[in-house]
Amino acid sequence: MTTDNPPTSPGSVDDWFESRLHWRALMDALLHVRVPLEAKTFFFGGMTLFLFGVQVVTGTLLALYYKPTPEAAYDSVLFITSDVSFGWLIRSVHHWSANLMILFLVFHLLRVFFQAAYKYPRELTWVVGIGLLGLTMMFGFTGYLLPWDQRAYWATVVGTEIAGGIPFIGDALLVLLRGGADVTEATLSRFFGIHVLVLPLALGAVVAIHLVFVHQQGLANPTKPDPRPPAVPQGRTKPFFPHYILEEVIAWLFLLAMLVVLSSLFPAGLEEEANPLETPAHVKPEWYFLGVYELLKHIPWKVVGILTPMVFIVLLAVLPFIDRNPEVRPRKRPLAIALGILTIAVLIGLTIWGYYS
């Protein structure tokens, strides 16, 4: 009678894990893939992922000192900024990484659009990316109230009123967001819970799905469409690991240096404590909502103004199913490129108009 005994001879750490988890096949599948040499990602997706990680780390550190009540929220932010060692730097890095995360996610989506990387077989990857954009904007919206200063309070009042104008569900959505009819302690605690628990879990899950899709489909070649039926793309390639990963890490280090410089030169500010009885002269949202805010000011019918950005987001999500042109090169997609440039120009124009108005 024989029994199976664990090996007693010494081996490497890699052998130890392999004998128990059989992880070499998994690592080969994750790392040893080929990237088209013509693929131009500009590392926008990787930078967005890195900034999400920075948000999680700095947000966790801030949550150790933050108190989500109207009586203590403002003072706790002051304490973080003034008394906690490097608290001002952590808060500023959190602030700037939030803004840059939205910016680089927009850049990433624009890159995918102009390179037609949303087309077959990546339709679902694009849809998930639009979902990531929505979740990231919600991150900004819920986190904006937490300092509980005048700008944050009244911008939240305006933002939730816009949500309350949505036909049929507006009133219920307003009460759901605020926890009542007005922006109160219930709103602050609700936004804090959504910001530090619900959204990170949701965003982390959607990011994981997105990365699985990208891994399974590979990076798009902007010079020619993927073959139909699915097959291994032909052409020049380079290894994902270590070549592409090394380039990503260099981009992350550059981005980290940019965060430190921005945080040092332009630290996150704080206005006077929120006062529900004193309305500021000019209430404006953050830059990523300014375009929509300005649009609502100039459309006479409130319902139309609210539905316009919602319809736009829906059209973005279903774009791969609307655009049936198999071509990926820009000169073969003149209508799509023209509409994309026009949309960008309108959004930038509305944002600048809102900033100076």
pLDDT value at residue 6: 57
Domain presence at residue 323: yes
Quick one: what percent of the chain has pLDDT higher than 90? Answer: 67
Could you report the per-residue pLDDT of 321-357, keeping only the tens digit for each? 999 999 999 999 999 999 999 999 999 999 999 988 8
Domain presence at residue 121: yes
Mean pLDDT within 273-298:
88
pLDDT value at residue 233: 58
Distance (Å, whole) CA 186 – CA 178 = 7
Residue 104: which domain range? 37-356
Domain presence at residue 229: yes
Q: Between the ranges 37-41, 92-96, 226-230, where is the mean pLDDT highest?
A: 92-96
Q: Among residues 90, 95, 193, 85, which one has the least CA distance to residue 149? A: 95
Q: Among residues 137, 162, 142, which one has the least CA distance to residue 152? A: 142
**Are 192 and 7 contacting, i.e. CB atoms less than 8 angstroms apart?**
no
pLDDT value at residue 7: 54
Domain presence at residue 27: no
DSSP string, 111-134: HHHHTTTTSTT-HHHHHHHHHHHH
Q: Which residues pair with 238 in a beta bridge?
A: 35
User: What's the CATH code of the domain at 334?
Assistant: 1.20.810.10
Mean pLDDT within 102-124:
96
Distance (Å, whole) CA 287 – CA 248 = 27
Could you report the per-residue pLDDT of 89-111, keeping only the tens digit for each? 999 999 999 999 999 999 999 99
Amino acid letter for position 232: V
Domain presence at residue 24: no
- pLDDT-derived band at 78 (thresholds 50, 70, 90) equals very high
Residue with tokens 């659009």: 113
DSSP string, 233-276: PPS-EEEIIIIIHHHHHHHHHHHHHHHHHHHHHS-----SBP-T
Domain presence at residue 10: no
Domain presence at residue 203: yes
Domain presence at residue 25: no
The helix (H) or strand (E) run that includes residue 75 is helix 73-82
Counted domains in the chain: 1
